[in-house]
Amino acid sequence: MRILSALLLLLVACDDSTPEAPNTEAPVASAPAGLPIGSPAIAGDVAPDAVVATWDGGQITYGELHLKLKAQLIQMESEYLTNRYAAESSAVEQMMIEQMLETEAKKRGMDGIEALLKIEVEDKVSAPTEAEIQEFYTVMQRQLRGAPLESVREQVVAELVRRQQAEIAQVFITQIKEAANGSTALPYPDLPRVEVSADDDPFLGTDGAPITIIQFAEYQCPYCGKAGEAVDKVLENYPGKIKMVYRDFPLSFHDRAIPAAVAANCAGEQDKYWEMHRMLMSNQRALTESDLTGHATALSLDMEKWNTCRADPAQEAEVTADMEAGAAVGVSGTPAFFVNGIMLSGAVPYERFQELIDRELERG
C-alpha cells in the first residue's frame, strides 16, 4: 500500500483547502466574568452547585467557575468541533476512495490497489525536463536557502515528481468518484454561538444582510492588516449578503493603537472613516502623531474639527467600550471575527470564511 498511502496523503491530508493555523496577537486583558455570552454544557459528572474551592468565609461553586470561563470554553468547544469535523471528513473521504479503488482493481482483474495506481498514476509520470527543473529551482531558491542547484537537484526532481503524481492521481480519482457517484454527507457540527453587539460602529456591506460579521481588531497588529485581504474578498464575493462591522480592540502593548483608533473614528465624524481606516491599516508603522496628522491632511479633513474631536475624552471611552465588549465575548487576541455569532480567531484564510458563510446561507 506504499503508493496508495502516499497519494491519499497528498489528496486528503494535504489538500489546499486545509485551514491554516490562525495568526493572532494576544492582549493582556482577560474576559470579565458573569456576562451573557452563551452556555457551553457543564461537565455532566459535576453539579453546578458542587463546591470546588473553600476558604474561611467563602467558597466557589462549579457553576460560578463555569460562568467565569464561559467565553474561553465556548471558543474551545468551537475549535474542538471544527477540528473533529475536519478529521472525520478526511477519514471518510479516504475510506471511500480506498473502497472505490479496490472495486475498480477487482473489475480490471488486478492484484490490489497498488497495481491499479501503478498503471494509472506512477507509470504516467514523466521525468521533469531540464527547463522545468531550472524554473522550479528559481521559484524555490528562497526556501532552499540559496543552495546551488546541483546540491539540491534530487530534492527538486523528487518534488516535481510528487506534484505531477498528485495532479494525475487527482484526475484519476475524480473520474472514479464520478463514475461511482461517490459523495460524502458528514453532518457539519452545530457550532456554539455568542451574542455579539454591533453597537453603532462603522460597517461595510449591507445593513440587514443575512450574514453579520463583527471584527475586533486594531491598527498596530500586523495580522489585522493581513486579514484585510480575506475581508475584502468576502465583501466582493457576497454582494448584498454581508454586513461587516469593525470594532476596536487595542492591545495594551501597542502604544499607538488607541490614538490610531480615535483618529479613524474622528475622521468618521467627517464621513471619512473608511478612507482613514484603510490608510492606517496600510501604514501600520506610520502611526506617530505627525503620521496621523499627515494622513488626515491627505484626506482633506477639517483639521480643527478633527483635532477637537480627538481631544474629546468620549472618543477614547468609545474605543475602550469596544474592547470591553470584545473581552466579554471571549476575544483574547486580534483579529477576531464573529460570523453570525460563530467565532473565528486570527487572520484566517478566505476559505474559512467561505465555508462558514455558505453554511449559514444554507441554513436560511
The whole-number pLDDT of residue 294 equals 97
pLDDT over 60 (residue 4)? no
- Look at residue 5 in the predicted model and tell me its pLDDT: 55
Instruction: Assign 21 a pLDDT band (cuts: 50, 70, 90).
Output: very low
| Residue 28 in domain | no
Calculate the average pLDDT of the chain: 88
- Determine, yes or no, domain membership for 265: yes
Alpha helical stretches, state H, the chain: 2-8, 62-68, 70-107, 113-120, 130-140, 149-179, 222-237, 257-268, 273-282, 289-298, 303-311, 313-328, 350-363
Of 79 and 10, the one with more pLDDT: 79
Residue 86: per-residue pLDDT: 87
* Statement: residue 256 has pLDDT above 50: yes
Whether the predicted pLDDT of 36 surpasses 80: no
Beta-bridge partners for 214:
245, 338
- pLDDT attached to residue 198: 94
pLDDT at 345: 86
| Residues listed for the chain | 364
Mean pLDDT, rounded, for 94-100: 95
Q: How confident is the model at residue 8 (pLDDT cuts 50, 70, 90)?
A: low
C-alpha cell at 81: 468541533
Summarised one tens digit per residue, pLDDT across range 49-59 is 999 999 999 99
242 — pLDDT class (breaks 50, 70, 90): very high
* Cβ burial, residue 79 (10 Å; 0-12/13-18/19+): middle
> Whole-structure pTM over 0.75, yes or no?
no
The range of the structural domain enclosing residue 283 comes to: 203-348
- pLDDT band at 44, cuts 50/70/90? low
The CATH number of the domain holding residue 241 is 3.40.30.10
**pLDDT on residue 15:** 39
The pLDDT confidence band at residue 26, using thresholds 50, 70 and 90, is: low
Contact 267, 306 (CB under 8 A): yes
Mean of pLDDT values over 150-161: 94
Residue 55 covered by a domain: no
Give the orientation angle of helix 113-120 with respect to helix 70-107, to 10 degrees.
Answer: 80
- Beta-carbon contacts of 18 under 8 Å, excluding residues fewer than 6 positions away, are 86
pLDDT at 238 over 90: yes
pLDDT > 90: what percent of the chain? Answer: 72
CA dist., res. 335 & res. 221, Å (int): 8
Task: Answer with the residue of higher pLDDT: 235 or 21.
Answer: 235
Whether residue 77 lies inside any domain: the answer is no
- Could you tell me which residues come within 8 angstroms of residue 189 by beta carbon, excluding any fewer than 6 positions away? 81, 82, 84, 85
pLDDT for 33 equals 34
* Of the candidate ranges 44-48, 218-222, 351-355, the one whose mean pLDDT is the lowest: 44-48
Q: What would the mean pLDDT of 172-193 be, rounded to a whole number?
A: 92
Specify the range with the lowest mean pLDDT, choosing from 196-205, 315-324, 341-350: 341-350
Query: 22 pLDDT band (50/70/90 cuts)?
Result: low
Find cell 482493481 and name the residue.
105
For 184, the grid coordinates are: 460524502
Total domain count, the chain: 1
- Looking at per-residue pLDDT, the higher value among 349 and 11 belongs to 349
CB 283 within 8 A of CB 291: yes
- Per-residue confidence band for 34, with pLDDT thresholds at 50, 70 and 90: very low
Grid cell, residue 291, equals 503620521
Kindly state whether residue 228 falls inside one of the protein's structural domains.
yes
Q: Which pLDDT score is estimated for 12?
A: 44
pLDDT attached to residue 120: 96
pLDDT at 35 over 50: no
Say what the pLDDT of residue 40 is: 53
Tens digits of per-residue pLDDT, 262-289?
A: 999 999 999 999 999 999 999 999 999 9
3-state SS, residue 41:
coil
Q: Does a cis peptide bond (omega within 30 degrees of 0) precede residue 335?
A: yes
